[in-house]
Amino acid sequence: MSHLGYEIKKLGFGLMRLPKRGDNIDVEQVKVMVDRFLADGFTYFDTAWAYPNSEAALGKALVARHPRGSYYIASKCVAWNHCESTDDLERQLQETLTNLGTDYLDIYLMHNLGGKRTAAFEKYDAWEFVKSVKERGLAKHIGFSAHCTPEELEGFIAAYSEAELVQLQINYLDWDSPSFQERACVEVANARDLPIIAMEPVKGGLLAAASGARNPRRGV
């Protein structure tokens, strides 16, 4: 992401699915994973308010144990879940910062645009809110993540002209899938010179084993 002034290696650490001990995230194991990730030279961590207890786990495993300037944190706001007003977006943001134990984010995104979810972001003027987060110095860069059609993505890019990046699902299994249209979405973003962060590169872990990738019961 040199266009943002960062020199970040291509592999990021996604925190949607973390190891558990019983019903709780195994923070001690996350610490081991975080330390290994950093030791290997990687620095980008991706979490979200909507990932249960993820931000708090990252706060304990990373922020409380490593210098703030040695890594980058991306988090996300959600308008389509437990949100009834713009005030709830602010509440989410403050919970995010508190749980992480930081006073700023490197990247803040509107989370999971596409389909019926888009209307909630529009209803609560979420993009104006996200812009205000950057203006207040609480995030250095802003953008959005999306599971959407190429046509929807065209609309988002036009509507959110200040977006500095987009996060899209990209993996080799779904690259040419008519359901996911990943290639077409990437082509739209590239044509508009909007930088891309790839999410779900191993499809939520399903591509980690060849047998899993071919198992229809696992949602592939």
Residue positions annotated with a catalytic role: 51
Residue among 169, 131, 163 at smallest CA distance from 150: 169
Measured distance CA(9)–CA(92) in Å, rounded: 29
The three-state secondary structure class of 74 is strand
Rg of the chain over Cα atoms, rounded to whole angstroms, equals 17
Angle at 153 between CA 151 and CA 154, to 5 degrees: 65
Element at 173 (helix H, strand E): none
- CA 150/CA 188 separation, integer angstroms: 7
**The two three-digit tokens of residue 133, written as one number:** 């987060």
Planar angle of CA 170, 173, 175, nearest 5 degrees:
50
Whole-angstrom Cα distance, residue 210 to residue 120? 37
Contacts of 92 (CB under 8 A, 6+ apart): 49, 77, 78, 83
Q: Which residue shows structure tokens 């249960």?
A: 52
